[in-house]
């Protein structure tokens, strides 16, 4: 496992939030900063494409 910032992960690549996590996420599209909130990436769960979360670009994630 290697730790990288989420902004360096390519769109569509799989990553984990913690090194020992069982679930994986897929990095999705980029949401620009606007009047409603900060800049984020949409990250969907690998096992359920409709579930996910928005993470800031500086979030440290883990790649295999």
60/51 Cα distance (integer angstroms)? 20
What is the reported pLDDT for 58?
93
Backbone angles phi and psi of 37, in degrees to 5: 175, 175
Domain 2-63, CATH class in plain words: mainly beta
Whether pTM > 0.95 for this model: the answer is no
Residue 39, pLDDT score: 92
**List of residues 6+ apart from 43 with CB closer than 8 A:** 6, 15, 25, 26, 27, 28, 52, 53, 54, 55
Output phi, psi for 43, to 5 deg.
-125, 115
Residue 19 has what pLDDT? 93
Domain coordinates of the chain in residue numbers?
Answer: 2-63
pLDDT tens-place string over residues 4-59: 999 999 999 999 999 999 989 999 998 888 888 889 999 999 888 788 899 999 99
């Amino acid at each position: 496992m290697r730790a990288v910032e989420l902004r360096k992960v390519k769109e569509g690549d799989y990553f984990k939030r913690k090194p020992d996590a069982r679930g994986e996420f897929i990095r999705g599209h980029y949401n620009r900063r606007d009047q409603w909130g900060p800049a984020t990436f949409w990250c969907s769960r690998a096992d359920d494409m409709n579930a996910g979360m928005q993470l800031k670009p500086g979030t440290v994630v883990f790649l295999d």
